[in-house]
Amino acid sequence: MTTDTKTSKPLARTRASAAAGASKRAKPKAAKAKEAISRKRGHVRIEDVAKVAGVGAMTVSRALNQPHTVSAEKRKLVADAIRKTGYVPNLVAGSLASSRSKIIAVINPAMRTSIFSDMTQGMWDVLEKEDYQLLLGSTDYSQRREDKLIRTFISRRVDGLVLTGASHSKSSRRQLENNNITVIETFDLPADPIDMVVGFSAFEAAAEMARLAGAWGYKNPGIITAPKTTDNRTQRRIDGFISGLKDVKLRLKKKSVCEAQALTMKAGGAALEQLLAADPTIDIVLCTNDILAVGALLACQRNGWSSPERVAVTGFGDIEIADQLSPSLTTVRVRGYEMGQRIGELMLARLQGDVAQAHICDMGFEIIRRQSA
């Protein structure tokens, strides 16, 4: 695998080219030779199956991919031959010939965030039924990596691509458009979508939560934000909070906004402590994320602060633990699994030729009021 090109040690698989040169015109002999070769290479090919079944290669191909176009009789012959030979189709060759890969690529900022894995599972559950597979990529919130992944996935000729978030580079957009790849953007409602969208308005959700904070009688809000990454997902939630607070005439002090050091419970707890140290009169803390909010609540427990009495906390996402904690977490529910399902359905519809699909799907959100606020 290194630089030596003329090693005498044969590679694991070498092409049967020595023989091929000689048998250029010798069809009758070549037939037998070929069979031996195919066995040597370790893969039964569609033609081998065809020969055993006594039909043409195309009939085997059809029997596998469009059974209804093949007579029941031949179908059975093929099925038997496949069993006999242990044939395993080569989907790479099939993809090349048909320009359809039956692969959908998913690019997420991170794999370990529950909402993203919920979404991925939702997609999987829908797409798996039609024998599509998922090719995964994670950007760690880096635009550069997203661009690179998009290029790679185009190279792999994926049939569809699911992108998280609304901001993508110009060059990526152009390449996607040039390459006939179905794209679904998710987790947001971009103003200028590439193609289809399945998401919700993070701004609206955050604004609504903030307005409710006012309606519930809180007077002195604080905000805990996730680390500001290159994308602006978090920013949109912050903007929503600020806008909502304004709507209900709540003043947000500058020092009452704290950016957590990391997207972890620990960091959320630390942020809360910092916030309250700076201004003990804060009575509600809006978090851009459930992880941070849970961390904040757990920090309250450890510090003996009751919630919502001492300080109320709200989250964003409604992760599993939100309703198990005491106090349970008031938060915004965005249904990741269902979003994934919807993505899968739209993707399938489009790939199966249904162009008349709705392009924008707003999955909405839901404010879940529990004990913490």
Partner DNA sequence: ATAAGATGTGATAGCGCTATCAGCAATGAA
Partner DNA sequence: TTCATTGCTGATAGCGCTATCACATCTTAT
55 is an interface residue for DNA by CB under 7 A? yes
Q: Which stretch binds a copy of itself (CB under 8 A): 125-133, 211-219, 254-262, 359-367?
A: 125-133
Closest C-alpha to 245, from 290, 204, 293, 212? 212
Residue 62 partner contact from a copy of itself, DNA, none using kind-dependent CB cut-offs of 5 to 8 Å: DNA
CB 213 within 8 A of CB 286: yes
33 is an interface residue for DNA by CB under 7 A? no
- Can you tell me whether residue 111 is helix, strand or coil? coil
252 residue type, one letter:
L
Among 6, 32, 112, 254, contact with DNA (rule: CB under 7 A): 6
Among 2, 17, 178, 326, contact with DNA (rule: CB under 7 A): 17
The rounded distance, in Å, linking the Cα atoms of 88 and 44 is 7
Residue 192 partner contact from a copy of itself, DNA, none using kind-dependent CB cut-offs of 5 to 8 Å: none
CB 258 within 8 A of CB 221: no
164 is an interface residue for DNA by CB under 7 A? no
CB 35 within 8 A of CB 71: no
For the chain, the distance separating the N- and C-terminal CA atoms, rounded to the nearest angstrom, is 61
152 is an interface residue for DNA by CB under 7 A? no
Q: Which stretch binds DNA (CB under 7 A): 34-42, 114-122, 217-225, 271-279?
A: 34-42
Of residues 171-230, which lie at the interface with a copy of itself (CB under 8 A)?
175, 178-180
The rounded distance, in Å, linking the Cα atoms of 306 and 138 is 38
Of residues 332-371, which lie at the interface with a copy of itself (CB under 8 A)?
352-353
The rounded distance, in Å, linking the Cα atoms of 134 and 132 is 7
Residue 126 partner contact from a copy of itself, DNA, none using kind-dependent CB cut-offs of 5 to 8 Å: none
156 is an interface residue for a copy of itself by CB under 8 A? yes
Among 65, 71, 261, 324, contact with a copy of itself (rule: CB under 8 A): 324
101 is an interface residue for DNA by CB under 7 A? no
Of residues 281-300, which lie at the interface with a copy of itself (CB under 8 A)?
291, 294-295, 298-299
47 is an interface residue for DNA by CB under 7 A? yes
320 residue type, one letter:
E
For the CB of residue 219, give the shortest distance to a copy of itself in the complex, in Å. Answer: 28
The rounded distance, in Å, linking the Cα atoms of 241 and 239 is 5
Closest C-alpha to 159, from 112, 99, 75, 232? 99
The rounded distance, in Å, linking the Cα atoms of 205 and 293 is 16
CB 323 within 8 A of CB 370: yes
12 is an interface residue for a copy of itself by CB under 8 A? yes
Please give the full DSSP string across 116-170, using - where no structure is assigned.
HHHHHHHHHHHHGGGT-EEEEEE-TT-HHHHHHHHHHHHHTT-SEEEEESS---H
Q: Which residues bind DNA (CB under 7 A)?
A: 3, 5-6, 10-11, 13-18, 20-21, 24, 37-38, 41, 43, 45-47, 54-59, 61-62, 64-65, 68-71, 73-74, 87, 89-90, 93-94, 96-100
Q: Which residues bind a copy of itself (CB under 8 A)?
A: 1, 3, 5, 12-13, 42, 68-69, 86, 88-93, 95-96, 99, 101, 103, 110-112, 114, 117-118, 120-121, 124, 128, 131, 133-138, 151-152, 154-157, 175, 178-180, 264-266, 269, 291, 294-295, 298-299, 301-302, 320-321, 323-326, 352-353
